[in-house]
């Protein structure tokens, strides 16, 4: 069976199992989504959703967050792991958002990826789930499944993303990314 045929079958199965899908990270705005996605590195979405309400209660926008010392951010986000680096990144990206973007999350891969703690996968999630632009965020989980399903032989998530974008219709990327994660 060819990769395109497998991809079509995967679309059908995942659409049957997960006809409607919602963003797993709880957030009320793109800043909260950005912070939640940053926290989700090496952490479960469920754990992030336990931690963020306390963090967002004291600072749910970059204007407030930039004023929170990294140590205080760390004390709240510690259960998510990698706390020292994540707390510094959250504080620093908040300062940049205020200074350079008037407190708004930028709507471009290039600008997002310049922010501390934000790599391509995080930027892809923001572009997809925050702004609704077609993106196919590939994490280790999606990378492994794509290999198991014979959709890629890529050695990196970057190559897997390229391969999956060739196989799946662009208008399905945002939903399909979430369906694969839930699967």
Catalytic residues, by residue number, are 121, 139
Triad 101, 72, 24: Cα angle to 5°? 65
CB atoms within 10 A of CB 108: 13
**Non-local CB neighbours of 174 within 8 Å, separated by 6+ positions:** 128, 129, 132, 134, 135
The span from the CA of 154 to the CA of 19, in Å, is 28
Given a contact cutoff of 8 angstroms between Cβ atoms, the answer to whether 98 and 62 are in contact is yes
The alpha helices in the chain, defined as continuous H runs, are: 3-17, 30-39, 45-58, 62-65, 70-77, 83-101, 109-113, 120-125, 140-148, 157-167, 173-182
């Amino acid at each position: 069976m060819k990769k395109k045929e497998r991809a079509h079958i995967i679309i059908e199965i995942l659409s049957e199992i997960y006809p409607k899908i919602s963003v797993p990270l709880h957030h009320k705005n793109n800043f909260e989504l950005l912070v939640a996605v940053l926290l989700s590195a090496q952490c479960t979405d469920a754990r992030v959703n336990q931690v963020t309400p306390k963090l967002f209660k004291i600072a749910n926008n970059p204007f407030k967050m930039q004023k929170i010392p990294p140590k205080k951010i760390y004390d709240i986000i510690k259960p998510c792991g990698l706390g020292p680096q994540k707390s510094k990144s959250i504080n620093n990206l908040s300062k940049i958002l205020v200074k350079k973007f008037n407190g708004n999350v930028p709507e471009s891969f290039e600008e997002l990826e310049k922010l501390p703690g934000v790599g391509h996968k995080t930027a892809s999630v923001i572009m997809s789930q925050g702004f609704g632009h077609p993106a196919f965020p590939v994490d280790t989980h999606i990378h492994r499944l794509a290999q198991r399903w014979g959709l890629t032989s890529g050695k990196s998530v970057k190559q897997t993303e390229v391969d999956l974008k060739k196989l799946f219709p662009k208008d399905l990327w945002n939903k399909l990314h979430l369906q694969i994660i839930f699967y």
